[in-house]
Amino acid sequence: MKLFNFPYVIRKEILYNMESSNIFLLSFVSEELREFIKTSQIRRYKNISHVEYNCCTTGEPFIYISYKGFMQLIMKIEEREETEQDYFPLNVSGKMIDFRMSNGFPAASYHPDERESVIKAIHNYFLDLFKNSVKYHWLASDYNHPIVQLQNLSLTCNLNLDRNFADMENLENFLSSAPVLKRVNMSVGTTTEPFSPDSKLYEAESIKVTQHSPTVPDILSRFQGRQAFLRWTNNGGDLELELWRFVNRWISGETFQNLEYLKVEIPKTIGPQFLNLISARRIDEEDQPPTHTLPKVYVDFGFEPNTEPITSHAYVVRRTDGHVASVKVQGLLFCFGVWNKTEDEFLKMVRSPY
């Protein structure tokens, strides 16, 4: 079908009824088609928030777009199978790449020495198409496949460190190769090696860790990011002491300057006396304290987009700038939400029943 034989309105209607994956494939056919798609699909593209390179254990990315909050597969990138004969060449950002259809989706192929150049060519195409209107994520499920260095790229990874894990050097090298560490979701057993004090792990904007020991990794001492979600599985040691040390570090203002939210699930109940230990200040019980919640740095598909609300009469104040953090201790849960407000500004949000 020769698309340009049809009037402009008909061409737009044809594209409107096409799947996103087919539109992207069509845009590689010619410069004229690419420009037409680019200008006619502005409304569609405005609903795309990010592009995700989802790497399975083989290191071959599945490329998704987040369209209106739903993930849509638009393309695969895979090593070429020489036994297949149904490839067709297309020009992507000045590089000829062989494509084929695989299970109804376009698959860009590469020879073993071309993996990086093929991924870069496709990424450059997205940069030209979307400019800076979308974000780009590299999602890894292991640390054995290198991250391709791409412009405006951030890393999100899901890692499982088995019991007696002893490959810390390679893990640290993998994390260090990420230009921006967006989110780390990690399960840590009993490792035989500690994390480096200056590990890139602590620079992640958001971190979610299930850990045997509260100090491996030592999030409550070294975290430099914005949001942390922790679950401690070993009830040995003084867990309240670790939380007390964290709160005092935050109050001092010497660390955690970027922290917005912390949630810690622990295996034993925190007593109400903990609030006295941290010298928490109190809002009158008859008053209604403000509720702390904010958008998550990274939202897993199907999960709530905002942090769990914190409504608490207890709070602490940072010495260096007078900013407030709400503190909630309830059963097996410790929550800490930082406000971008001084104590006076914070207390103005308290609602009195009178």
Can you tell me the distance from the alpha carbon of 45 to that of 48, in angstroms, rounded to the nearest whole number?
A: 5
Asked if pLDDT for residue 191 goes beyond 70, the answer is no
Q: What is the pLDDT of residue 275?
A: 95
pLDDT digit string (tens) for 45-75? 889 999 999 997 678 999 999 988 889 999 9
Give 163's pLDDT tier (boundaries 50, 70, 90).
Answer: confident
Task: Single out the residue of 92, 212, 204 nearest to residue 140, CA to CA.
Answer: 204
Task: Single out the residue of 254, 253, 252, 255 nearest to residue 228, CA to CA.
Answer: 255
Q: Which whole-number Å values give the CA distances from 236 to 4, 214, 233, 248, 266, in the listed order?
A: 71, 10, 9, 22, 11
pLDDT digit string (tens) for 241-275? 999 999 999 999 999 999 999 999 999 888 888 99
Rounded to an integer, the average pLDDT of 318-344 is 96
Question: Other C-beta atoms within 10 Å of 176: how many?
Answer: 14
Can you tell me the distance from the alpha carbon of 274 to that of 246, in angstroms, rounded to the nearest whole number?
A: 13
Q: What is the pLDDT of residue 85?
A: 80
Question: Other C-beta atoms within 10 Å of 266: how many?
Answer: 21
φ, ψ dihedrals at 206, nearest 5°: -135, 140
φ, ψ dihedrals at 27, nearest 5°: -70, -15
Residue of 289 and 215 predicted with greater confidence: 289
Can you tell me the distance from the alpha carbon of 38 to that of 139, in angstroms, rounded to the nearest whole number?
A: 26
Give 234's pLDDT tier (boundaries 50, 70, 90).
Answer: confident
Rounded to an integer, the average pLDDT of 285-293 is 96
Can you tell me the distance from the alpha carbon of 109 to that of 22, in angstroms, rounded to the nearest whole number?
A: 17
φ, ψ dihedrals at 39, nearest 5°: -85, -30
Q: What stretches of 40-80 adopt beta strand conformation (E)?
A: 48-55, 61-67, 70-79
Rounded to an integer, the average pLDDT of 195-201 is 92
- Sign of torsion over alpha carbons 252, 258, 260, 263: negative
Residue of 92 and 56 predicted with greater confidence: 92
Q: What is the pLDDT of residue 15?
A: 82
Question: Other C-beta atoms within 10 Å of 161: how many?
Answer: 21
Asked if pLDDT for residue 294 goes beyond 60, the answer is yes
Asked if pLDDT for residue 1 goes beyond 60, the answer is no
End-to-end CA distance of the chain: 73
Output the average pLDDT for the chain.
91
Q: Which whole-number Å values give the CA distances from 197 to 134, 143, 194, 202, 313, in the listed order?
A: 33, 20, 9, 9, 35
3-state secondary structure of 347: helix
Helices and strands in the chain: count of H runs, count of E runs: 10, 18
Q: What is the pLDDT of residue 58?
A: 78
Residue of 31 and 190 predicted with greater confidence: 31
Q: What is the pLDDT of residue 73?
A: 94
Q: What is the pLDDT of residue 148?
A: 93
pLDDT digit string (tens) for 271-283? 888 999 999 999 9
Q: Where are the domains of the chain?
A: 190-353
> Virtual CA dihedral for 4, 6, 11, 15, nearest 10 degrees?
-80
> What pairs with residue 262 in β-bridges?
228, 336
Q: What is the pLDDT of residue 192?
A: 61
Helices 8-16 and 31-40 sit at what angle, rounded to 10 degrees?
A: 80
Q: Which of 45-59, 76-90, 285-299 has the highest mean pLDDT?
A: 285-299
Can you tell me the distance from the alpha carbon of 84 to that of 290, in angstroms, rounded to the nearest whole number?
A: 62
Can you tell me the distance from the alpha carbon of 225 to that of 115, in angstroms, rounded to the nearest whole number?
A: 32
Q: What is the pLDDT of residue 228?
A: 97
Q: What is the pLDDT of residue 4?
A: 74
Q: What is the pLDDT of residue 183?
A: 95
Question: Other C-beta atoms within 10 Å of 103: how many?
Answer: 7
Rounded to an integer, the average pLDDT of 216-227 is 94
Give 354's pLDDT tier (boundaries 50, 70, 90).
Answer: low
Can you tell me the distance from the alpha carbon of 278 to that of 102, in angstroms, rounded to the nearest whole number?
A: 59
> What pairs with residue 97 in β-bridges?
90
Q: What is the pLDDT of residue 96?
A: 95
pTM for this model (two decimals): 0.88
For the chain, what percent of residues have pLDDT higher than 90? 63
Task: Single out the residue of 308, 213, 331 nearest to residue 260, CA to CA.
Answer: 308
